[in-house]
Amino acid sequence: MALAAALLVLLLATPAVYAVQYTVGDSSGWSTSGDYTTWVQGKTFNVGDTLLFTYDSSSHRVEEVTKSDYDNCNSGNSLKTYSGGNTVITLSSTGPMYFICPTTGHCALGMKLAINVVAASGNTPSTPSPSGSTTPSSGTTPSGSTPPSHGGAPSITNNGLMLGFSLVLGAVLAIMS
Ligand SMILES: [Cu+2]
């Protein structure tokens, strides 16, 4: 009993954030046969996730480059270079990241990867946010929205009248048609 309770507490206390390791290219790995434009589709890269590049270290490497070098397949001034065939890169900050293989011709063959890293969403279940967010911003209430509580009673009356008019109008139209 006590153990079960402890486990339950542990489960509840564990933040609902799980770092994900993405194997770049999945079964293709990091190679000239991968399609990394397609591979990134539908994936969300959060801060704290990792990229795993697996590749033949005799023919490929991984370079992190600027967007311009990514666009132009320019490997002359990489931000970081990785080799060895098994590279894990932790996504430590938000924003775009660009990777290419610096081996001649490989980037042009498609060994280029662009991702956008976003902040980890945190433990946000799909519950509505607390009441504070529903207050209209600084008096610029758009017309038609119900005013806050102090004007409540008149507005209900108005709505009732409007509803009444609508019903009458609808009835008249129905009769006329
Ligand atoms: Cu390569």
Instruction: Find the 55 Cα to ligand 1 centroid distance in Å.
Output: 8
Instruction: Find the 19 Cα to ligand 1 centroid distance in Å.
Output: 27
Instruction: Find the 39 Cα to ligand 1 centroid distance in Å.
Output: 17
Q: In angstroms, what is the C-alpha Rg of the chain?
A: 28
Domains and CATH numbers, the chain: 17-118 (2.60.40.420)
| Structural contact between residues 36 and 112, judged by C-beta atoms closer than 8 angstroms | yes
Instruction: Find the 108 Cα to ligand 1 centroid distance in Å.
Output: 10
Instruction: Find the 177 Cα to ligand 1 centroid distance in Å.
Output: 74
Instruction: Find the 111 Cα to ligand 1 centroid distance in Å.
Output: 6
Instruction: Find the 87 Cα to ligand 1 centroid distance in Å.
Output: 14
Task: Tell me the DSSP string of 57-107.
Answer: TTT--EEEE-HHHHHHT--TT-SEEE-SSEEEEE--SSEEEEEE--STTTT
Question: What pLDDT, on a 0 to 100 scale, did the predictor assign at position 18?
Answer: 85
Digitized pLDDT (tens) for each residue of the chain, 177 residues in all: 565 655 555 555 555 568 999 999 999 999 999 999 999 999 999 999 999 999 999 999 999 999 999 999 999 899 999 999 999 999 999 999 999 999 999 999 999 999 999 998 765 444 444 444 444 444 444 444 444 444 444 444 444 444 444 545 445 445 555
Could you give the percent of the chain with pLDDT greater than 70? 59
Question: 155-170: per-residue pLDDT in tens?
Answer: 444 444 444 445 454 4
